[in-house]
Chains A and B, each alone.
Chain A
Amino acid sequence: MIGGPQGSGINSVAENFAKACIRGGLHVFANIEYHSNIKGEHSYYRLRVDSRELRSHVDWVDLLVALDKETLFGDLTKAHPTHSGHRHEVSPGGGIIYDAGLKLSPDSFGRDDITLFPIPYMDLLIDALKEFGKERELSKYQVMVNTIALGASLGLVNYDFGLASEAIREGFTGRKAALGELNISAAQHGYDYAEKIFGHSAFPIRLQRQALGGKRMMIRGVQAVAIGKVKAGCGFQTYYPITPATDESEYLESHQGNYNMIVVQAEDEISAINMATGAAHAGLRSSTSTSGPGFSLMAEGLGWSGITEAPGPVIILWQRSGPATGMPTRTEQGDLRFALHAAHGEFPRMIIAPGDVVECFYDTFDAFNYAERYQVPVIVLADKFLASTYKDIPFLNTDGMKVDRGDLLQELDITKNPDYKRYQLTELGISPRTRPGQKGGIFWTTGDEHDEYGHITEAAGLRVRMMTKRMKKIELAGQVIPDSKKATLHGPRTAPITIVGWGSTKGAILDGMEELSANGVEANFLQIRYVSPFPTELVQKVLYESRRKIAIENNYSAQMAGLIREMTGIAVDNKIVKFDGRPFSQNEIYEGVRDIVKNGMSEVMLSHA
């Protein structure tokens, strides 16, 4: 773990460390916790490295890298303290790298079971700067102590420095190349110092390269979604800045030149969704990306997309803790019910909740196909934890991914039917669509109830037929899309315990299950991926056979458990919830299930508090 004030560059340290690891054949799972603040507040990056694939983080730390004192001791001296630092989280036998310049007495750590590695950050940085004749510009380069710390941590675990310097170098291209060399030198100073002063055996954990298991990449949730959009042929993205969604749009905008995708920063989320729907009606695959506060503003627009049977947009809802501004930079799965019911009236919508970064890519891609095939808005329900999850994965495989544009007529087909009706009542509920500009395809569309041409009506009979036609589409989607996409039962079919979850808790649950199994508790895991259309029969079947059903959710009320009850009539037996804005760790899943199974608790609320 590396911690420091915001603006101190913990990201680049963690990310360079991660890159160096995957290039050495290792596996990484990383995620960041930060404040809604630009400079100064405490933030930390958790980096878990192993020789096998990782899907979650843990709450203990083997090596803590502190860029400041608060990372160690918290902010207890402040008027309104919020945390007591991370020194307690270091596991016995672990170590702490910190600034020797802080002149801390070893006793102040209150730990005699760990090793302290004070590193003179500033002195080493000055040494590095001297080599480049820049020692007099120290204040300008001060943030580079983060790179000293990166080097020191690599030195302690005795990892291949060449891989790290390569990663650093890539971050500084073109005019910045010289700065890259300076950073490499700083890292080298940290590395050499740690090796020289503490020797090879001071820290028990070694990181060793291993053979590469195929081509791998490091990816964040926001990037996985964005790349899914590129692959799907999205041509239009709108957004209004909001954490944690913005990074996705900025990523797309920075790559738009290569892919011909219009990215518009709208004046608010009302505009963002409506622009996207306008583009969808005009025939371009479109999307918008937001978080809870923005999605709240989008509600009416969502309904317009629904009643006008627009082929989209795809809406990415990066949940964060609410309500209102809540905790803007913290995670939560609090918007399941909201996504399902946002906007007045009844209309079909699809909702997919990817469980990890890889699913973020494929689910986003599918979302565009559904939007056009069923002419519905599609919501991809992700969250801050997934957005900032940074993990190694095999190269995304795009074999067999096919764009399906649904019933989009070509001019030639349109001319065959001189009386084109955009909202033709069809057996399946889907009316072939045209796009503005096509000859013979003129249509009208309105948020009022309408006839087959798209003109306003208040006739009771027509209302019933149109409403039924629209609602049929979600039934159709439910029948056509295989259950295997909508939900997955992980682990042994007949385990005595079934964990039920959705979205970003997947990784922690899977890793937690292994830990449970190693301790004699067998469980399987029903991951629900499609919220709408809901895999009712499959869920019913699995839960009917299950002896003990435990819902695990990153919210207060276990919203999915409620939905399951609504859809299947089956009540879960126990709940494990967490709503402190932090994601579940592997060990929390283990502890939560253990508390239920071994200690007889019926409901568990977990928190970092």
Chain B
Amino acid sequence: MLELKNYRTQVHNDWCPGCGDFGIVNAIQMTLLEMQLEPHRIAVFSGIGCSGKTPHFINAYGFHTLHGRVLPIATGAKLANPSLTVIAVGGDGDGLGIGAGHFVNTGRRNLDFTYVLHDNGVYGLTKGQASPTLPKGLKTKSMPAPSIQEGVNPIAMAVASGYTFVARSYALDVRHLKMTLRAAIEHRGSAFVDVLQTCPTYNDINTKEWYAGDDLPTKAPRLYKLEETGYDGRVSDATIRDVVNAKKGDALLKSFEWGEKIPIGVFFKMEVATFEDQLATRMPALAEKPFVEQDIYNRDIALLLDELA
């Protein structure tokens, strides 16, 4: 029986006190524990930013990559060894700013992995500039002026790009986050989880109190759970185009709900062939064992030479 300590490292954590990132790393560790995944079968990848430090705190193979490049590096490793449980994490600037092209194109591939976005509305590590998810017109603490660029909608982008599991959760609701992460990891295909993350140091708008609705006349929490409203994002039959499109439409519509009410939970889910499945139809050996475990170092090239004779 694996224990929580098996998923933790002793590395000094230098996140600001109260940072939402603590909630995310805890939830990841607890999910892995719940699933009893062996640490050496897991690889965690991150980009650059405060969130980028995450792998150092998790006892699993850890890759702290480049700003915006977490998805290509995770993709390469996963394809080399599809038997690994691959979790990629990164900031909203990392994934939707500098890495936006990779975000879209990774969705198109439907690799079997999970991508967790630390969505805090700011560039934490570079001291609080607007991130691509910050809505237009807002000015967080350290910004010199309000943003005059529109904010992007990560959920809508994910659905449009082809992620086959698209969900949102909240860094400070570890129970919900755990449940969502587990569903994401168990999903066969590209799973995207937009985690609303508080940054008490720089984001003085989307604070813990704001999410709790303290500023609203009703004092009702802003976040509500999709599954409690009867919303079901699961595609019943992925072979019927209209069924798929209808579900994508529902998810897109829901994803634009923002303000006094913000949905969390699973927006969209569909099971289709993964990138690895498709490669395996071309190369059946891939279905047997990852190439890293096969002897491909003794190839006979006679066939290729004969072709050119």
Indicate, yes or no, whether A interacts with B.
yes
- Residue numbers in A under 8 Å from B59 (CB-CB): 442
The answer, yes or no, to whether A50 is at the interface (CB within 8 Å) is no
The answer, yes or no, to whether B294 is at the interface (CB within 8 Å) is yes
Query: Is the beta-carbon distance between B83 and A282 smaller than 8 angstroms?
Result: no
Query: Is the beta-carbon distance between B297 and A282 smaller than 8 angstroms?
Result: no
Query: Is the beta-carbon distance between B297 and A444 smaller than 8 angstroms?
Result: no
Query: Is the beta-carbon distance between A260 and B285 smaller than 8 angstroms?
Result: yes
Known: A260-B294, A271-B102, A395-B305. A279 touches B77 (CB 8 A): yes
- Residue numbers in A under 8 Å from B283 (CB-CB): 256-257, 260-262
- Complex partner residue of B74 from A233, A264, A278, CB under 8 angstroms: A278
The answer, yes or no, to whether B286 is at the interface (CB within 8 Å) is yes
The answer, yes or no, to whether A531 is at the interface (CB within 8 Å) is no
Closest to A393 in B: B308
The answer, yes or no, to whether B65 is at the interface (CB within 8 Å) is yes
Query: Is the beta-carbon distance between A277 and B73 smaller than 8 angstroms?
Result: yes
Selecting from B38-46, B209-217, B233-241, the interface stretch reads B38-46
- Complex partner residue of B66 from A257, A284, A443, A447, CB under 8 angstroms: A447
Chain A 59-117 interface residues, beta-carbon cutoff 8 Å to B: none
Query: Is the beta-carbon distance between B76 and A435 smaller than 8 angstroms?
Result: no
Query: Is the beta-carbon distance between A442 and B279 smaller than 8 angstroms?
Result: no
The answer, yes or no, to whether A304 is at the interface (CB within 8 Å) is yes
Query: Is the beta-carbon distance between A264 and B292 smaller than 8 angstroms?
Result: no
- Complex partner residue of B102 from A257, A267, A398, A439, CB under 8 angstroms: A267
Closest to A216 in B: B309
Query: Is the beta-carbon distance between A443 and B61 smaller than 8 angstroms?
Result: yes
Query: Is the beta-carbon distance between A278 and B75 smaller than 8 angstroms?
Result: yes
Query: Is the beta-carbon distance between B77 and A230 smaller than 8 angstroms?
Result: no
- Residue numbers in B under 8 Å from A217 (CB-CB): 305, 308-309
The answer, yes or no, to whether B84 is at the interface (CB within 8 Å) is yes
The answer, yes or no, to whether A236 is at the interface (CB within 8 Å) is yes
The answer, yes or no, to whether B11 is at the interface (CB within 8 Å) is yes
The answer, yes or no, to whether A301 is at the interface (CB within 8 Å) is yes
Query: Is the beta-carbon distance between B56 and A444 smaller than 8 angstroms?
Result: yes
- Residue numbers in B under 8 Å from A230 (CB-CB): 299, 301, 304
Query: Is the beta-carbon distance between B309 and A215 smaller than 8 angstroms?
Result: yes
Q: How far is the CA of A163 from the CA of B80 in the complex (A)?
A: 44
- Complex partner residue of B296 from A259, A268, A456, CB under 8 angstroms: A259
- Complex partner residue of A262 from B45, B291, B301, CB under 8 angstroms: B291
- Residue numbers in A under 8 Å from B61 (CB-CB): 436-437, 441-444
A299 CB to nearest B CB, Å: 11
Give the size category of B's interface with A. Answer: 35 or more
A146 CB to nearest B CB, Å: 22
Q: How far is the CA of A223 from the CA of B39 in the complex (A)?
A: 41
The answer, yes or no, to whether A438 is at the interface (CB within 8 Å) is yes
The answer, yes or no, to whether A127 is at the interface (CB within 8 Å) is no
The answer, yes or no, to whether B298 is at the interface (CB within 8 Å) is yes
Chain B 57-108 interface residues, beta-carbon cutoff 8 Å to A: 59-66, 69, 71-81, 83-84, 101-102, 104-105
The answer, yes or no, to whether B53 is at the interface (CB within 8 Å) is yes
Query: Is the beta-carbon distance between A276 and B76 smaller than 8 angstroms?
Result: yes
- Residue numbers in B under 8 Å from A284 (CB-CB): 80-81, 291-292
The answer, yes or no, to whether A389 is at the interface (CB within 8 Å) is no
Q: How far is the CA of A274 from the CA of B294 in the complex (A)?
A: 23
Q: How far is the CA of A217 from the CA of B304 in the complex (A)?
A: 10
Closest to A262 in B: B79
- Residue numbers in A under 8 Å from B303 (CB-CB): 258
- Residue numbers in B under 8 Å from A472 (CB-CB): none
Q: How far is the CA of A441 from the CA of B104 in the complex (A)?
A: 33
The answer, yes or no, to whether B132 is at the interface (CB within 8 Å) is no
Query: Is the beta-carbon distance between A436 and B77 smaller than 8 angstroms?
Result: yes
The answer, yes or no, to whether A440 is at the interface (CB within 8 Å) is yes
B272 CB to nearest A CB, Å: 19
Q: How far is the CA of A463 from the CA of B246 in the complex (A)?
A: 55
- Complex partner residue of B72 from A216, A218, A233, A270, CB under 8 angstroms: A270
- Residue numbers in B under 8 Å from A278 (CB-CB): 45, 63, 72-78, 80
Query: Is the beta-carbon distance between B309 and A304 smaller than 8 angstroms?
Result: no
The answer, yes or no, to whether A455 is at the interface (CB within 8 Å) is yes
The answer, yes or no, to whether A454 is at the interface (CB within 8 Å) is yes
The answer, yes or no, to whether A35 is at the interface (CB within 8 Å) is no
- Residue numbers in A under 8 Å from B304 (CB-CB): 223, 227, 230, 255
The answer, yes or no, to whether B263 is at the interface (CB within 8 Å) is no
| Residues 264-300 of chain B, each 1 if its beta carbon lies under 8 Å from chain A, else 0 | 0000000000000001001101100011101011110
Known: A270-B72, A436-B84. A235 touches B63 (CB 8 A): no
- Residue numbers in B under 8 Å from A264 (CB-CB): 75, 79
Most chain A beta-carbon contacts within 10 A, residue among B72, B75, B282: B72
The answer, yes or no, to whether A597 is at the interface (CB within 8 Å) is no
The answer, yes or no, to whether B55 is at the interface (CB within 8 Å) is yes
Q: How far is the CA of A256 from the CA of B303 in the complex (A)?
A: 12
- Residue numbers in B under 8 Å from A262 (CB-CB): 79-80, 279, 283, 286, 291
Chain A 223-268 interface residues, beta-carbon cutoff 8 Å to B: 223, 227, 230-233, 235-236, 238, 255-262, 264, 266-268
A531 CB to nearest B CB, Å: 25
Query: Is the beta-carbon distance between B101 and A235 smaller than 8 angstroms?
Result: no
Q: How far is the CA of A271 from the CA of B69 in the complex (A)?
A: 7
Known: A267-B105, A304-B66, A436-B81. A275 touches B76 (CB 8 A): yes
**Known A281-B77, A442-B59; 7 more pairs at CB < 8 Å:** A233-B298, A236-B80, A280-B76, A283-B81, A436-B84, A444-B62, A455-B9
Leading 5 A-B pairs by shortest Cβ distance: A278-B76, A275-B76, A446-B64, A267-B105, A282-B80
Q: 9 interchain pairs (CB within 8 A)?
A: A215-B309, A235-B291, A236-B79, A260-B291, A262-B279, A271-B105, A284-B292, A436-B40, A436-B61
